[in-house]
Amino acid sequence: MRKGALGAIAFALMVSRADPGVALDSYRYLHVSIETPWLIFLFLLGAVFVPFILMLALMWWRPLNKSISAPKSKAPNEVQDPER
């Protein structure tokens, strides 16, 4: 109960000391201009396509890497010739 009363008093003091012009002036710091949609588009373009490019690179690289490093297995019906 004591924390709630203290919080209410603190909130009342902040509201009573707030300048209404400060809230209206805060939009100045958003820096929204005609370039903003393009910047959002470019950010989302990278955020969406970079994972797909990485996925395609890994899909290409992993099988290539596995085929080089994996030992060649013999077919189950192939018999080893001791004379070789």
Name the CA radius of gyration of the chain, rounded. Answer: 33
Per the CB < 8 A criterion, the answer to whether 74 and 80 are in contact is: yes
Structure confidence at residue 51 (pLDDT): 92
Structure confidence at residue 48 (pLDDT): 92
pLDDT tens digit string along 61-73? 888 777 666 556 6
Structure confidence at residue 45 (pLDDT): 92
With a cut of 70, list the residues of the chain below it in pLDDT: 1, 20-30, 67-84
Token pair recorded at residue 53: 């490019």
Tell me how far apart the alpha carbons of residues 10 and 25 are, in angstroms, rounded to a whole number: 24
Structure confidence at residue 3 (pLDDT): 75
Token pair recorded at residue 18: 């707030």
pTM value? 0.37
Tell me how far apart the alpha carbons of residues 18 and 33 are, in angstroms, rounded to a whole number: 28
